[in-house]
Amino acid sequence: MPMRILLADDNPAFLRAMERFLGTDSRIRRIWLARSGAEAIELVDRENPDLVLLDWALPDIKGLWAALRIAGESETAEVWILTPDDNPEYEQAARKAGAKGCLCRRRLTEKIGKILENLERRSEVRSKPPDGTEFFIVCRSGTECFGLPADQVAKVEKIVSFTVLSGEYNPIIGLATFEGKAVPVLGMLRREGPGQEPPAWLAILRSGRSLVGLTIDGIEDTIAVASSARFPFPWHPPAGPHSYLTRVTRYKDRFIFLLDVDKIMTDLNGNGA
């Protein structure tokens, strides 16, 4: 499941470096940065992140006090304290404050992967849906939002480059490389004329052993949708990428369309892709 992280530290260079490093991990959906303990507490109250990393020596409220406040009031946030070095006394104090433990700042990039892996596993257990419920990743393409079946999303990554194919837009617009394979790429929107920004992200979707890429502008959320909340499309586009949006559900104050990945693969394989 995509995760949200808050990092609190008063060193701007460290914050920027960690933001760049964490931003390369496809499991992370959002990163908030705080320069003080008070700002960290305010962000936790407002945004409810999954993981909170607090510097031991924040300039106003020390990391331990911030951890005590956050761990005591947040039902979901996992808190870790960043320390200058490994020290059993730091670890003991952090656990007494309600944090999971301490992380040496110098080794944070080595340790964070395991923490994210454990957090992801616990999140999946906590959020296991009832029968008939599926998770969808809500993506944005221009002004439109649509849902990707989470269990069929192999990876979401920033687009470095992909080969654009000339000819008709419908349905393949290019090729990308994933796991050493050439993957056909679809786009949900036409992007023509001056001032049109290129897509920033590529979602790799899987159906059986087949792969397809989908260009998107960003990820909004991950939602659980019961089978009773997935309605048939009120009309059916005859061709093009929008013909793969076969179901409708409610998201916040609007309807969004759910993508049928298996139908994409059937059509592409049938067309010799």
Tell me the CATH number at 265. 2.40.50.180
- Confidence (pLDDT) at 14: 93
Domain housing 110 = 3-126
- Confidence (pLDDT) at 54: 94
| Boundary-marking domain end, from 86, 104, 126 | 126
Structurally, how many domains does the chain consist of? 2
Instruction: For residue 227, give both structure tokens.
Output: 């089978």
Domain co-membership, 86 together with 119: yes
Domain co-membership, 66 together with 193: no
Domain co-membership, 89 together with 189: no
- Confidence (pLDDT) at 189: 60
Identify whether the C-beta of residue 201 lies closer than 8 Å to the C-beta of residue 216: yes
Domain co-membership, 154 together with 264: yes
Give strand ranges (E) for the chain: 3-8, 28-34, 51-55, 78-83, 101-104, 133-141, 144-149, 153-158, 163-164, 172-178, 181-187, 201-207, 210-216, 218-226, 231-232, 245-251, 254-259
Domain co-membership, 43 together with 170: no
Domain co-membership, 149 together with 113: no
Domain co-membership, 208 together with 255: yes
| Boundary-marking domain end, from 104, 126, 148 | 126
- Confidence (pLDDT) at 170: 55
State the 10-residue block means of pLDDT for the chain, 273 residues long: 87 93 86 93 89 92 88 82 90 90 90 87 61 86 87 83 65 80 78 55 87 88 89 69 82 89 81 45
Domain co-membership, 102 together with 139: no
Domain co-membership, 203 together with 185: yes
CA 232/CA 246 separation, integer angstroms: 7
| Boundary-marking domain end, from 126, 155, 189 | 126
Q: Which of 176, 151, 188 is nearest to 264 (CA)?
A: 188
Domain co-membership, 83 together with 168: no
Which secondary structure element, helix H or strand E, spans residue 22, and what is its range?
Answer: helix 12-22
Q: Which of 210, 227, 220 is nearest to 272 (CA)?
A: 210
CATH code of 60's domain: 3.40.50.2300
Domain co-membership, 15 together with 113: yes
Domain co-membership, 113 together with 197: no
